[in-house]
Amino acid sequence: MNNFEELESMADEYAQAEAERVHLTEFKKSKKALLMQRHEGYHKNLSIAAQEREAYADEEYIELLQGLKVATEKALSLKFRLDVMKMRFETWRTKQATLRAEMNLR
């Protein structure tokens, strides 16, 4: 696989990882609401603050946060790998331009 194919492949991976991270970030709000509803059903007349506390302490919410952590780590890792590949490419381009300029001076 050449560098451009590798860059394209990594860009696709990054896009998928970032989409997953964003999806989990947004789903976190829905999950909180669903858990608050569930806890309201368990305990009638539970205040909103108490529902929220129970939702945040729920194992399902904690698992969602763990998944968000993993997705964020993967997306950032891929982003930084892409950045390094871009820097390597720019370094190569600079060297090529320098070589061309040196050849024109001869």
The pLDDT value recorded for residue 32 is 96
The pLDDT value recorded for residue 20 is 95
7: exposed, middle or buried (Cβ count in 10 Å: 0-12, 13-18, 19+) = middle
The pLDDT value recorded for residue 6 is 82
Closest alpha carbon to 61 in 35, 41, 39, 42? 35
Query: pTM of the full predicted structure?
Result: 0.77
Any idea which residue has 């829905």 for tokens? 30
SS3 readout for 44-63: CCCCHHHHHHHHHHCHHHHH
The pLDDT value recorded for residue 55 is 95
Q: Quickly count helices (H) and strands (E) in the chain.
A: 3, 0
In order of 19, 65, 106, the CA distances from 38 in angstroms are 28, 19, 79
Q: What are the structural domain ranges in the chain?
A: 3-105
Sequential pLDDT tens for the chain (106 residues): 677 788 888 889 999 999 999 999 999 999 999 999 999 988 888 999 999 999 999 999 999 999 999 999 999 999 999 999 889 889 999 999 999 998 888 7
Half-sphere exposure of residue 22, counting CA atoms within 13 Å on the CB side?
6
